[in-house]
Amino acid sequence: MANFKKLNYKRETKKSKSLTRFLENDNIAGYIFISPWIIGFIAFTAIPVLASLWFSFTDYDLLTSPNFIGLDNYKKMFKDDEVYRKSLFVTFYFVFASVPLRLIFALFVAMLLTVKTKISGLYRTVFYIPSIIGGSIAIAVIWKRIFHDDGVLNDLLAMIGIKTNISYLTNEKTAIWTLIILAVWQFGSSMLIFLAGLKQIPDSYYEAAKIDGANKFQNFFKITIPMLTPIIFFNLVMQIIQGFMSFTQSFVITSGKPMNSTLFYSVYMYNRSFKFFEMGYGSAMAWVMLLIIAAFTIIVFKSSGSWVYYETKEDK
Amino acid sequence: MNYKTLTEENGQNALFKRTLHRLNNKHVKKILYHICMLVFSIIMIYPVLWMVMSSFKGNTEIFTNASSLIPKEFLFENYKIGWKGFGGDTFSIFFKNSFIISTISTIGAVLSSVLIAYSFARIKFKGSRIMFSIMLMTLMLPYQIIAIPQFIIYQKMDLINTFWPLILPNFFGFPFFIFLNMQFIRGIPSDMDEAAVIDGCNRYTIFTKIILPLLKPSIVTSTIFSFYWRWEDFFAPLLFLNKPKLYTIPLALRIFADPTSVSNWSGMLAMATLSLVPVLFIFFLFQKYLVEGIATTGIKG
């Protein structure tokens, strides 16, 4: 370490013996700082992932030792297990309804918040609060109360003269939408990301557009959207992935009912693995989930070239 | 209709239009904007307000007076009743468990992530690029994939129904916090490192004397997010804890709200409200850090 000082001056002059030592030192320092990650990655990620792959080819049930059964788990999933296919459909439905809606909402509200007023900060806070508490069990429990047949929503509707006693949570058509609404309600953090992105668009672009006689719609579709696409794209990928992993809402609010119409993939996986202890089958389901997520990531990244606009360096 | 009245009418019309136009441009637009935003704000915040206000309502009033935000009378004893919990376990146990797990996990996650971030951001060493891309890939890895093997390992080690499975993994860095702190470290001019080298610093003293003190904002942001996630985490405690004495608040709330056992709605709502108090308290204290954290990484975590 003592050589560090001297070497910095010599760095560009010649490759001395001490320079290699210096490099060695940096290597060692780097690995010392990074060591927690390496240990954690091996112990808590790499080994479990490989173990999971192995279990997916077995009939492991936690009590008896695992037997290799080849692709049977995977065959069962797509051939015999109707509930599995239902859960796959439900999850896709949830993700493709909630993620675009949330992003559109976030962008729309972020645009509205670019208008500077004395209480803009207050609006921003109010819209962001659902994002930090929306995933909690407290809110899940509240959601149950709101959409119950004698709950808050029907009471509110009655006040404006619409008398219904729909039980949103036990109706096959509406149950999934209570979960989608909960997901869209948490648009606040995406909104903050868009707000930060909107601030970075140079005013000169809009000024130039004004001289060219562009209207607000043209501004939005020709300047704002193209400039924001990297952000939109990144959030789309991340939120699709997170959407696939959603668990708590379905598990607590609807428990997958009615008729499995809200049975999320990870809830079904949990039931199979930890209620019936079909660890082998559960692992196979986990791997299919991983493949779906990987496929989506690749598709979205590959297609990004055609619609994502990255600002060239000269502009910055 | 003769010519005169026609022009008069036209004149009045024009005047009316002009004033309307002026109003339209300034005040009407502004007022409309605020009305829309206020209505929207109320809709957004209504569920939260409803929870807080209903926690003071009586057990039947929650149903008979469902949507109202103002209880007929404020029943503060709901909090006392709710605190008693269920099956002899009070909420002091659940709060204590949640605090222990969230605090220790957060310290571990932030400390380890800062070390790792420094290494990735500042030190060039063999394999750092590959490891960085692997780290980014784990950001997308579903927890469910590793949950089953982890459960089996912890079971073999007899660690189910202890806090170890919930606390230990946090001490090995968190991709999101590594990324967040890296962004901040990259923003610190490397001239400072070089100046420190001239003053006789090495990699370790640069970290403790220069980088660490400057990292305060991103450390605060990471701490808040980590605490939130641990506090609200449901899946991991559900897997590893099944004795009521070990329950964290989310687990306890779920049992408390179970339709087959719930008879005390107001007590439950009171505890639900209490469970969000630390979250909202931290939010209002550190709002600036949160907003900046989200803006700099572009990830909501």
The pLDDT tens digits of the residues spanning A74-85 come to: 999 888 888 999
Say whether pLDDT at B217 is over 90.
no
Q: Does A276 touch chain B (CB under 8 A)?
A: no
Regarding an ipTM greater than 0.90, the answer is no
B198 contacts in A (CB within 8 Å)?
A: 5, 8
**Contacts of residue A127 in chain B, CB cutoff 8 Å?**
41, 44
The verdict on A159 touching B (C-beta cutoff 8 Å) is yes
**Residue A12's pLDDT band (boundaries 50, 70, 90)?**
very low
Instruction: Closest CB to B198: pick one of A5, A62, A297.
Output: A5
Phi, psi of A32, deg, nearest 5: -65, -45
Look at A251-265, B143-157, B210-224, B281-295 and tell me which has the smallest mean pLDDT: B281-295
Q: Which residue in the set B50, B178, B291 is minimally distant from A192, CB to CB?
A: B291
Mean pLDDT of A88-107: 94
Contacts 24+ apart (CB under 8 A), B93-100: B93/B245, B93/B247, B94/B247, B94/B248, B94/B249, B94/B251, B94/B252, B95/B249, B97/B163, B97/B246, B97/B247, B97/B248, B97/B249, B98/B231, B98/B248, B98/B249, B98/B250, B100/B163
More confident of the two residues A19 and A142: A142
pLDDT the model gives residue A257:
82
Residue of chain A with shortest Cα separation from B155: A62
On whether the CB atoms of residues A25 and A3 are closer than 8 A, the answer is: yes
Alpha carbon of B41: minimum distance to chain A alpha carbons (Å): 6
Phi, psi of B21 (to 5 degrees): -60, -45
Confirm if A279 and A273 have CB atoms less than 8 A apart. yes
Interface of A with B in 19-48 (CB under 8 A): 25-27, 29-31, 33-34, 36-41, 43-45, 47-48
Confidence band, pLDDT 50/70/90 cuts, at residue B20:
low
Residue located via tokens 């600036």: B288
Percentage of residues in chain A having pLDDT higher than 90 = 35
* pTM more than 0.80: yes
Tokens standing for residue B230: 């641990």
Least confident range of A10-19, A24-33, B212-221: A10-19
Give how far A51 is from chain B: nearest CA, Å.
6
Chain B: residue whose CA lies nearest to A39:
B172
| DSSP secondary structure of chain B | --HHHHHHHHHHHHHHHHHHHHHIIIIIHHHHHHHHHHHHHHHHHHHHHHHHHHTTS-TTHHHHTTT-SS-SS--THHHHHHHT-BTTB-HHHHHHHHHHHHHHHHHHHHHHHHHHHHHHHH---TTHHHHHHHHHHHTT--HHHHHHHHHHHHHHTT-TTSSHHHHGGGGG--HHHHHHHHHHHHHS-HHHHHHHHHTT--HHHHIIIIIHHHTHHHHHHHHHHHHHHHHH--HHHHHH--SGGG--HHHHHHHHT-TTT---HHHHHHHHHHHHHHHHHHHHHHHHHHHHHHHHH----
Nearest CB to A141 within list B169, B202, B268: B268
Name beta bridge partners: A58. Answer: A68
Contact call for B203 and A26, based on CB within 8 A: yes
Which has the closest alpha carbon to B167: B102, B252, B241? B102
Task: Look up residue A259 and give its DSSP letter.
Answer: T
Which range (A163-167, B52-56, B111-115) has the least confidence?
A: A163-167
Predicted confidence at residue A21, as pLDDT, reads: 58
B196: nearest CA partner in chain A: A5
pLDDT at A311: 55
B89: which strand partners? B86
Instruction: Give the span between the Cα atoms of A225 and A198, in whole angstroms.
Output: 10
Residue from B42, B55, B125 to probe the interface with A (highest A Cβ count within 10 Å)? B125
Q: Do the Cβ atoms of B275 and A289 come within 8 Å? A: no
Radius of gyration in angstroms for the set of CA atoms belonging to chain A, rounded to a whole number = 26
